[in-house]
Chains A and B, each alone.
Chain A
Amino acid sequence: MLPQLLISGLALGAAYALVALGFVLVLNASRAVNFAHGDLVAAGGFATVALATLLPVPAILLLPAVLIVMAAVGLAIAALAYFPLSRRPPAALFVSTIAVGLIIRNGLDALFGAAPRAGPPLLGAGLVEIGPAVASRQSIAIIVAAALLIALLWVLLARTRMGKRLRASAEDPEMARALGVPVARMVAFAFALAAALAGAAGLLLANQFFVTPEDGGALMLKAYVAAALGGWGRLAGAVAGALAIAFFEVGVASLLSYPVAEALLYASALAILALRPQGLFPEHAGQRA
Chain B
Amino acid sequence: MTAPLLAIEGLAVDLAGRPALRDVVLAVAPGEAVGFIGPNGAGKSTLLKAVMGLVPARGTIRFEGAELGQLAPERRAALGIGYAPEGRRVFRGLTVAENLDVAGAAGAAERARRTEAALNLFPALRPHLNRRAWQLSGGQQQMLAIARALVAGPKLLLLDEPSLGLAPIVLEELTPALARIAAGGTALLIAEQNAARLRGVAGRVVEISRGRLSALVPGS
Contact = CB atoms under 8 A, between A and B. Distances in A.
Contact of B105 (A168, A176, A180): A180
Interface stretch (A39-47, A96-104, A159-167, A273-281): A159-167
A165 B52 CA distance: 19
B152 A180 contact: yes
Given A178-B73, A179-B83, A181-B74, 8 more contacts: A164-B94, A164-B101, A164-B102, A168-B91, A172-B89, A177-B72, A180-B105, A183-B74
Q: Among B52, B74, B77, B89, which residue has the most Cβ atoms of chain A within 10 A?
A: B74
B134 A287 contact: yes
19 contacts: A161-B102, A167-B98, A171-B91, A174-B54, A175-B89, A176-B91, A176-B102, A177-B74, A178-B54, A178-B74, A178-B83, A178-B85, A179-B82, A180-B104, A180-B152, A183-B74, A286-B135, A287-B93, A288-B92
Which secondary structure dominates where chain A touches chain B?
helix
Interface string B125-163: 000000010110000000000001100100000000000
Nearest to A166: B102
A178 B98 CA distance: 16
Given A178-B54, A179-B103, A286 B92 contact: yes
Interface residues of B, number: 28
A168 B102 CA distance: 8
A235 B102 CA distance: 20
Interface range on chain A (Cβ under 8 Å from partner): 20 to 34
A64 interface: no
Contact of A180 (B92, B101, B103, B132): B103
A143 B148 CA distance: 40
A167 B134 contact: no
Interface of A: 161, 164-165, 167-168, 171-172, 174-183, 286-288
Given A178-B83, A286-B134, A172 B77 contact: no
B85 to A, nearest CB: 7
10 closest residue pairs by CB, A with B: A180-B77, A177-B73, A179-B103, A178-B83, A286-B134, A175-B89, A168-B91, A177-B74, A168-B102, A164-B98
B94 A168 contact: yes
Contacts of A183: 74
A167 B102 CA distance: 10
B78 interface: yes
A155 to B, nearest CB: 14
A243 B52 CA distance: 45
Given A164-B101, A167-B93, A167-B94, A180 B74 contact: yes
